[in-house]
A = this chain, B = another copy of it.
Amino acid sequence: MPQAIGIREQSVAATVHAVVRAARDVLSDPEPGTWSMEAVALAAGVTRATVYNHFRSRTDLIEAVLDTVVARDRMDRLVEVSADADPVVALRQAVARTCRFWHAERPLLRRLFATAYADASVEALLRRREGWRREQLAVLLGRVGGVPSRAAARTRADVLLALTSFPTYDRLAGSTDGPGRTATTLNQLVSALLAGAHA
Protein backbone atom coordinates (compact mmCIF):
# COMPACT_ATOMS: atom_id res chain seq x y z
CA MET A 1 0.00 0.00 0.00
CA PRO A 2 1.12 3.58 -0.51
CA GLN A 3 3.08 5.07 2.34
CA ALA A 4 0.75 7.96 2.87
CA ILE A 5 -2.55 8.83 1.31
CA GLY A 6 -1.66 11.81 -0.84
CA ILE A 7 -3.70 14.91 -0.42
CA ARG A 8 -4.46 14.60 -4.10
CA GLU A 9 -5.92 11.10 -3.88
CA GLN A 10 -7.83 12.18 -0.83
CA SER A 11 -9.49 15.08 -2.61
CA VAL A 12 -10.27 12.89 -5.61
CA ALA A 13 -11.91 10.36 -3.35
CA ALA A 14 -13.85 13.16 -1.71
CA THR A 15 -15.07 14.34 -5.10
CA VAL A 16 -16.21 10.85 -6.09
CA HIS A 17 -17.94 10.44 -2.75
CA ALA A 18 -19.63 13.82 -3.12
CA VAL A 19 -20.84 12.94 -6.60
CA VAL A 20 -22.30 9.60 -5.52
CA ARG A 21 -23.94 11.19 -2.50
CA ALA A 22 -25.33 14.00 -4.64
CA ALA A 23 -26.65 11.47 -7.13
CA ARG A 24 -28.34 9.56 -4.35
CA ASP A 25 -29.87 12.77 -3.03
CA VAL A 26 -31.09 13.91 -6.42
CA LEU A 27 -32.52 10.49 -7.25
CA SER A 28 -34.15 10.25 -3.82
CA ASP A 29 -35.99 13.55 -4.11
CA PRO A 30 -39.59 12.57 -3.33
CA GLU A 31 -40.87 15.29 -5.63
CA PRO A 32 -41.69 13.44 -8.83
CA GLY A 33 -39.99 14.58 -11.96
CA THR A 34 -37.05 13.96 -14.18
CA TRP A 35 -33.42 14.10 -13.19
CA SER A 36 -30.24 14.88 -15.06
CA MET A 37 -26.49 14.61 -14.78
CA GLU A 38 -26.49 18.38 -14.68
CA ALA A 39 -28.57 18.34 -11.50
CA VAL A 40 -26.27 15.77 -9.92
CA ALA A 41 -23.18 17.78 -10.80
CA LEU A 42 -24.76 20.94 -9.44
CA ALA A 43 -25.69 19.23 -6.18
CA ALA A 44 -22.17 17.87 -5.86
CA GLY A 45 -20.65 21.30 -6.50
CA VAL A 46 -18.77 20.23 -9.62
CA THR A 47 -19.30 20.36 -13.35
CA ARG A 48 -20.91 17.72 -15.48
CA ALA A 49 -17.59 16.98 -17.13
CA THR A 50 -16.12 16.08 -13.74
CA VAL A 51 -18.87 13.59 -13.18
CA TYR A 52 -18.18 12.03 -16.57
CA ASN A 53 -14.51 11.94 -15.68
CA HIS A 54 -15.20 9.61 -12.77
CA PHE A 55 -18.12 7.70 -14.23
CA ARG A 56 -18.06 6.80 -17.88
CA SER A 57 -21.80 7.15 -18.23
CA ARG A 58 -25.04 7.67 -16.42
CA THR A 59 -25.26 3.91 -16.10
CA ASP A 60 -21.94 3.74 -14.24
CA LEU A 61 -23.09 6.39 -11.81
CA ILE A 62 -26.35 4.57 -11.18
CA GLU A 63 -24.41 1.39 -10.53
CA ALA A 64 -22.33 3.16 -7.89
CA VAL A 65 -25.41 4.65 -6.25
CA LEU A 66 -27.13 1.29 -6.17
CA ASP A 67 -24.07 -0.28 -4.56
CA THR A 68 -24.06 2.21 -1.73
CA VAL A 69 -27.80 1.98 -1.19
CA VAL A 70 -27.86 -1.80 -1.17
CA ALA A 71 -24.91 -1.87 1.21
CA ARG A 72 -26.53 0.66 3.53
CA ASP A 73 -29.76 -1.29 3.81
CA ARG A 74 -27.91 -4.64 3.97
CA MET A 75 -29.85 -6.04 1.05
CA ASP A 76 -26.98 -8.26 0.18
CA ARG A 77 -27.03 -11.16 2.64
CA LEU A 78 -30.74 -11.69 2.11
CA VAL A 79 -30.21 -15.43 2.39
CA GLU A 80 -27.62 -15.58 5.16
CA VAL A 81 -29.54 -13.41 7.59
CA SER A 82 -32.11 -16.04 8.50
CA ALA A 83 -30.25 -19.20 7.59
CA ASP A 84 -31.18 -20.91 10.85
CA ALA A 85 -34.87 -20.15 10.82
CA ASP A 86 -37.64 -22.32 9.45
CA PRO A 87 -37.49 -22.10 5.63
CA VAL A 88 -41.01 -20.75 5.30
CA VAL A 89 -40.41 -18.18 8.03
CA ALA A 90 -37.15 -17.21 6.38
CA LEU A 91 -38.96 -16.68 3.11
CA ARG A 92 -41.61 -14.53 4.74
CA GLN A 93 -38.91 -12.49 6.43
CA ALA A 94 -37.12 -12.04 3.14
CA VAL A 95 -40.32 -10.75 1.56
CA ALA A 96 -40.84 -8.35 4.44
CA ARG A 97 -37.24 -7.15 4.28
CA THR A 98 -37.53 -6.64 0.55
CA CYS A 99 -40.71 -4.59 1.03
CA ARG A 100 -38.99 -2.43 3.63
CA PHE A 101 -36.15 -1.85 1.20
CA TRP A 102 -38.48 -0.93 -1.66
CA HIS A 103 -40.27 1.39 0.73
CA ALA A 104 -37.14 3.09 2.04
CA GLU A 105 -35.76 3.75 -1.42
CA ARG A 106 -39.03 4.24 -3.22
CA PRO A 107 -38.41 7.60 -4.88
CA LEU A 108 -34.92 6.62 -5.92
CA LEU A 109 -36.05 3.30 -7.33
CA ARG A 110 -38.90 4.88 -9.20
CA ARG A 111 -36.46 7.12 -11.03
CA LEU A 112 -34.13 4.21 -11.61
CA PHE A 113 -36.81 2.03 -13.16
CA ALA A 114 -37.97 5.02 -15.14
CA THR A 115 -34.51 5.50 -16.54
CA ALA A 116 -34.20 1.78 -17.20
CA TYR A 117 -37.28 1.77 -19.38
CA ALA A 118 -35.79 4.43 -21.63
CA ASP A 119 -32.12 3.43 -21.50
CA ALA A 120 -31.09 -0.06 -22.61
CA SER A 121 -27.86 -0.18 -20.61
CA VAL A 122 -29.62 0.83 -17.40
CA GLU A 123 -32.21 -1.80 -18.13
CA ALA A 124 -29.45 -4.37 -18.47
CA LEU A 125 -28.05 -3.24 -15.15
CA LEU A 126 -31.34 -3.71 -13.34
CA ARG A 127 -31.92 -7.02 -15.10
CA ARG A 128 -28.58 -8.22 -13.79
CA ARG A 129 -29.56 -7.17 -10.28
CA GLU A 130 -32.89 -8.90 -10.62
CA GLY A 131 -31.07 -12.00 -11.75
CA TRP A 132 -29.05 -11.92 -8.56
CA ARG A 133 -32.20 -11.41 -6.50
CA ARG A 134 -33.76 -14.35 -8.29
CA GLU A 135 -30.86 -16.57 -7.25
CA GLN A 136 -31.36 -15.55 -3.64
CA LEU A 137 -35.06 -16.32 -3.83
CA ALA A 138 -34.37 -19.63 -5.55
CA VAL A 139 -32.13 -20.64 -2.66
CA LEU A 140 -34.83 -19.76 -0.15
CA LEU A 141 -37.43 -21.64 -2.19
CA GLY A 142 -35.11 -24.61 -2.47
CA ARG A 143 -34.95 -24.86 1.30
CA VAL A 144 -38.71 -24.92 1.47
CA GLY A 145 -38.79 -27.72 -1.06
CA GLY A 146 -41.95 -29.62 -1.97
CA VAL A 147 -41.89 -28.88 -5.66
CA PRO A 148 -42.60 -31.71 -8.13
CA SER A 149 -40.44 -30.79 -11.11
CA ARG A 150 -37.60 -28.56 -12.14
CA ALA A 151 -39.89 -26.65 -14.48
CA ALA A 152 -42.36 -26.03 -11.66
CA ALA A 153 -39.49 -24.76 -9.51
CA ARG A 154 -38.52 -22.32 -12.23
CA THR A 155 -42.06 -21.05 -12.58
CA ARG A 156 -42.35 -20.76 -8.81
CA ALA A 157 -39.18 -18.66 -8.67
CA ASP A 158 -40.39 -16.50 -11.56
CA VAL A 159 -43.69 -15.80 -9.84
CA LEU A 160 -42.02 -15.05 -6.53
CA LEU A 161 -39.62 -12.71 -8.30
CA ALA A 162 -42.49 -10.90 -9.97
CA LEU A 163 -44.52 -10.72 -6.75
CA THR A 164 -41.62 -9.22 -4.84
CA SER A 165 -40.39 -6.94 -7.59
CA PHE A 166 -40.29 -3.21 -7.05
CA PRO A 167 -42.90 -2.34 -9.69
CA THR A 168 -45.35 -4.71 -8.03
CA TYR A 169 -44.62 -3.24 -4.62
CA ASP A 170 -44.95 0.28 -5.96
CA ARG A 171 -48.31 -0.54 -7.51
CA LEU A 172 -49.60 -2.41 -4.52
CA ALA A 173 -48.49 -0.05 -1.78
CA GLY A 174 -50.54 3.11 -1.82
CA SER A 175 -49.01 6.46 -1.09
CA THR A 176 -49.79 6.13 2.62
CA ASP A 177 -49.50 2.42 3.36
CA GLY A 178 -46.39 1.34 5.16
CA PRO A 179 -44.39 -1.61 3.88
CA GLY A 180 -45.83 -3.85 6.59
CA ARG A 181 -49.34 -4.07 5.20
CA THR A 182 -48.06 -4.71 1.70
CA ALA A 183 -45.68 -7.38 2.95
CA THR A 184 -48.60 -9.12 4.67
CA THR A 185 -50.65 -9.04 1.50
CA LEU A 186 -47.76 -10.36 -0.56
CA ASN A 187 -46.98 -13.08 1.95
CA GLN A 188 -50.53 -14.36 1.67
CA LEU A 189 -49.94 -14.77 -2.05
CA VAL A 190 -46.59 -16.38 -1.37
CA SER A 191 -48.29 -18.90 0.93
CA ALA A 192 -50.72 -19.66 -1.84
CA LEU A 193 -47.81 -20.06 -4.22
CA LEU A 194 -46.15 -22.58 -1.91
CA ALA A 195 -49.40 -24.44 -1.34
CA GLY A 196 -50.21 -24.41 -5.05
CA ALA A 197 -47.14 -26.48 -5.82
CA HIS A 198 -48.81 -29.52 -4.31
CA ALA A 199 -52.02 -29.15 -6.29
Contact = CB atoms under 8 A, between A and B. Distances in A.
A149 B172 CA distance: 18
Contacts of A148: none
A171 B165 CA distance: 9
A117 B118 contact: yes
Contact of A118 (B34, B120, B165, B168): B34
Interface residues of A, number: 29
A62 to B, nearest CB: 14
B171 A161 contact: yes
Contact of A192 (B32, B113, B117, B189): B189
A-side binding surface: helix, strand, loop or mixed? helix
A186 to B, nearest CB: 9
A196 interface: yes
Contacts of A192: 188-189, 192-193, 195-196
Contacts of A165: 171
Interface in A171-185: 171-172, 174, 185
A32 B120 contact: yes
Given A158-B172, A172-B159, A117 B114 contact: yes
A155 interface: yes
- For A32, A110, A114, the residue with the greatest tally of chain B CB atoms inside 10 Å of its CB is A114
Contacts of A131: none
A117 B117 contact: yes
14 contacts: A110-B117, A114-B117, A117-B117, A117-B118, A118-B118, A161-B171, A167-B167, A167-B168, A167-B171, A168-B168, A188-B196, A189-B192, A189-B193, A192-B195
